[in-house]
Structure 1
Amino acid sequence: MAGRRRACGCRGTGLWRLLVAPVLLLLLLVGCGGRATTDGARAEVQRLLDRRAAAVLAHDEAGYAATGDRAGYTRLRAVPLAAWSYRVTALHRSGDTATADAELSYRIEGYDRAPVTTARTVRLTRDPDGRWSVASERPGEKTGEQAWDQGAVTAVRGAHSLVLGVGQTDARLRDFADLADRAVPAVSRAWGTDWAGRVVLLVPQSLDGMAALLGSPASSYRGIAAVTTGETGGAARTPADRIIVNPDAYGLLGPLGQQVVLTHETTHVATRAHTNAATPLWLSEGYADWVGYRGTGRTARQAAPELGNALARGQAPQALPTDDDFGFSGDATRLARAYEGGWLACRMIAERWGEERLEAFYRAVGEHGERDGAVEGAMGSVLGTTPADFTAEWRRYLRDQLG
């Protein structure tokens, strides 16, 4: 039996080679051809998007339309662009239709030191002559929208600002530019001039538009007047920041409140290169509020009502606010107390150690690069105190100012 199996095995192996080898060769040829076809289509799509990008930068509406869907050009043509390019990262093809995953990189002229890079999904069709064209373009999966995804963008320039709005009047966008133009010099007076000295504001039509720009649920930002986007750290190549306004909440503020908010957010833009994982939110948000309120004459009782109420109920905080206290989706009262507590901590430093020491403290914390030991080290080297003593001093300060 063993011998017969070996014999059959030899004959079977030879037959297998005769029958299967051509099939393998065919599969290999088909596989190579399929891969080559896919690679060829991807290269064609890349060239198509290169032409589309060149048309955007050249303000060539006809050239843009020749690449497919032309709606995007109309929506973004008011945006002053210094760079615009696509990089196809994957192509999913089915016959004469395809979906391309792509990275869009762009820079706003005069404002962005580094490009904004965002994922895009591009749907394509192929005509009978084999030419690809763009059917639509939208944000990639789990990626926030760009302003022009929401409609035609209107651009208003200020002395230190660029305001890009959708569904807003020119007059209202001019109001935002005026607020930003006052905020920029105010921030420079407090922080210094080692930053760009200009800001970009995005003003969507509604809270839902704001949330879509941020790629988050609207419920996360209800009641929040504005936020600043941008990665932290990297002094040499500070990423492009955007101040995104919630027009619903912003419109409920008075003139002083609107100015404080814009100055606060502009402070985040200025301090971005010195803000990183080492920086606790009580310091970054507290400092931004300190700059925002600086020179307004607002008293502690006026600007920190929730902490004042807590003290009146005998519920004085035992420690500085934690990062978790600043969550947008949590308790609004807890969030307000966190901002007020951070502001009063920075205000105390400015009053008792001086404004220059406050700035130096902020920078020293960021220089540490990681959270462990950053605040402790900066308190020792810049303020000559310890976290325990600082917290005790802060609690006394709250009672003095709010009691």
Structure 2
Amino acid sequence: MLTALLVVSMVLAVGGAGAAAWVLRGSGDAAPSATTWVDVRPEVGGKAIDAILARRAEAVKRKDLGEWMGDVDQSDPAFAQGQRQEFENLTKLPFAELSFERTAVSAVKMAAFMPSQIFARYHAAARVIAVTVRHRIEGVDSLPVATPWLAVFGYAQGKWLIAGDGSGKDMPTGAAGQPWDSGGAITVVRDDRVVAVLSADHAESGKSLLQLAETGLQQVAEVRPSGWDGKVLLTAVTDKQIFDTYFAESQDRVAQVAAIAVPYYSAVAEWSNRPAYATTRVVFNPTELSAPKAELQHDLTHEFTHAAMGPVTGPYTPRWLVEGFAEYVAYKDGKYNAAGIRQALGDLVVGSLPTDQQFYDEPRNYITGWLACRMIAEAYGQAKLIAFYEGFMRMSEVDSVAHEVLGISKDQLEQQWRDFVAKQRK
């Protein structure tokens, strides 16, 4: 129940012109205590917001904190401090390109991400704006990468201000999950093929992480020497929220995942039709950063394989193949034995290749997927394994790809796989 203020919002349109009136009323039948008119026509409000976004990019390029904070609502000290931290983080990244672009997305859809406290603070004179952060990391990206930002703008004292960030379910992939979103200071270490973002207080581990990353990239390049940039942006910060963002609807899986490879496109996938693939970013679970070197090496090689295969991974590529191929590359050095495989598989019944819906329900599917890829490589050659993977860019069914690339049916492929797994268990 509203005991103090009743907020009434109405939109008027006359001859194409639009304005919104926010009327603040006292309880009961009291007269309005205040009225604020906000011109929400795209050619007016939109231009003002575009100007703010343009200044934001320029502030980062010039490293001008004053210009950055000039468009920020500083009435919330915590948000203002977060904005200062974000600015500092952004200025540490080696951007070859950076822009913030207002993106056309349904206002009704965006309203679902409005934080209630900001709505209340601005008495409804607030909007959630879809913003594409288009950027290119120098020495890593050959194409611009689009990531999403759900910016909340509030209207006060005759102008729009950045008042917060959108929140809620169904956020687009990567929202609040970029390295500059870290709640703490970051540091950046790099070499010719890797840009790694770490928390500032972990800077001393940067050299070791780069060495592991280079080894992983070399392992991947031996299997996949071309068809991708061969370079990667790696985020390994201790702010767990950065990693958890990618598991908003499956928090139970966070503890089971060491790292994640996230594909990005020329436009935000959730806001665009058929955007072109741009690159894959790798984000580490901070709980895994203290893992033994051998484990970190495996995880890096696995995720870098996803990055290498990103350009030829599509909606029809089976999960068992995506994950199995990454394990195939990570274990290419041959550091495994039959006893270890038997122990890992345990009593798992190997029947049919798992569907995408089933795959992550059983962790041992990673092992069977790896063995399926090993079987194809050993029986038909590594080039055929890669061609089999690439075949799903043209065809959607395992049977069709198996016939074209391997000359066998899906049933025959599964039988050969079962026989191969049985042999590994002996």
8 Å contact 1:87–1:104 — kept in the other structure?
A: yes
8 Å contact 1:76–1:153 — kept in the other structure?
A: no
Shift of 1:222: 0.7
The answer to whether 1:34 aligns with 2:19 is yes
8 Å contact 1:99–1:122 — kept in the other structure?
A: yes
Secondary structure of residue in 2 paired with 1:111: coil
Summarize the Cα distance change of 1:38–1:218 in structure 2 as closer, same or farther, 3 Å threshold.
same
Summarize the Cα distance change of 1:367–1:180 in structure 2 as closer, same or farther, 3 Å threshold.
farther
Shift of 1:61: 2.5
Residue 117 of structure 1 aligns with which residue? 147
Residue 238 of structure 1 aligns with which residue? 277
Q: What is the rounded CA distance, in whole Å, between the counterparts of 1:116 and 1:34 in structure 2?
A: 32
Q: What is the rounded CA distance, in whole Å, between the counterparts of 2:159 and 2:52 in structure 1?
A: 9
Runs of 5+ unmatched residues, structure 1: 1-26
Amino acid at match of 2:161: S
Summarize the Cα distance change of 1:179–1:231 in structure 2 as closer, same or farther, 3 Å threshold.
same
8 Å contact 1:86–1:105 — kept in the other structure?
A: yes
Residue correspondence of structure 1 range 240-279 to structure 2 within 5 A: 240-252=279-291, 254-279=292-317
Residue 6 of structure 1 aligns with which residue? none
Shift of 1:286: 0.6
Q: What is the rounded CA distance, in whole Å, between the counterparts of 2:300 and 2:284 in structure 1?
A: 9
Residue 392 of structure 1 aligns with which residue? 415
Deviations 1:200-242 (A, max 9, x none): 1111315444103554454221121111111599999422321
Question: Which protein is richer in helix relative to its size?
Answer: 1
8 Å contact 1:56–1:84 — kept in the other structure?
A: no
8 Å contact 1:282–1:342 — kept in the other structure?
A: yes
Overall identity of the aligned pairs, in %:
26
Residue 75 of structure 1 aligns with which residue? 89
Q: What is the rounded CA distance, in whole Å, between the counterparts of 2:354 and 2:159 in structure 1?
A: 59
Q: 2:51 aligns with which of 24, 47, 53?
A: 47
Secondary structure of residue in 1 paired with 2:144: coil
The answer to whether 1:402 aligns with 2:421 is no
Q: 2:130 aligns with which of 102, 106, 109?
A: 102
Residue 181 of structure 2 aligns with which residue? 149
Residue 69 of structure 2 aligns with which residue? 65
Shift of 1:30: 10
Q: What is the rounded CA distance, in whole Å, between the counterparts of 2:308 and 2:190 in structure 1?
A: 19
Shift of 1:126: 2.8
Q: What is the rounded CA distance, in whole Å, between the counterparts of 2:13 and 2:286 in structure 1?
A: 59
Runs of 5+ unmatched residues, structure 2: 1-11, 21-37, 73-79, 112-118
* Aligned Cα root-mean-square deviation (Å): 3.1
Secondary structure of residue in 2 paired with 1:241: strand
Shift of 1:138: 5.3
Residue 348 of structure 1 aligns with which residue? 375
Residue 258 of structure 2 aligns with which residue? 225
Q: 1:174 aligns with which of 199, 207, 211?
A: 207
Secondary structure of residue in 2 paired with 1:239: strand
Shift of 1:139: 5.8
8 Å contact 2:324–2:372 — kept in the other structure?
A: yes
Summarize the Cα distance change of 1:377–1:211 in structure 2 as closer, same or farther, 3 Å threshold.
same
Shift of 1:33: 5.8
- TM-score with structure 2 length normalisation? 0.75
Residue 376 of structure 1 aligns with which residue? 399
8 Å contact 1:49–1:86 — kept in the other structure?
A: yes
Shift of 1:243: 0.8
- TM-score with structure 1 length normalisation? 0.79
8 Å contact 1:232–1:275 — kept in the other structure?
A: no
Deviations 1:126-160 (A, max 9, x none): 33xx3443344456863231332232232111331
Mean CA deviation greater in 90-99 or 138-147: 90-99
Amino acid at match of 1:194: G
Deviations 1:287-318 (A, max 9, x none): 110001101432244256332x12xxxx5311
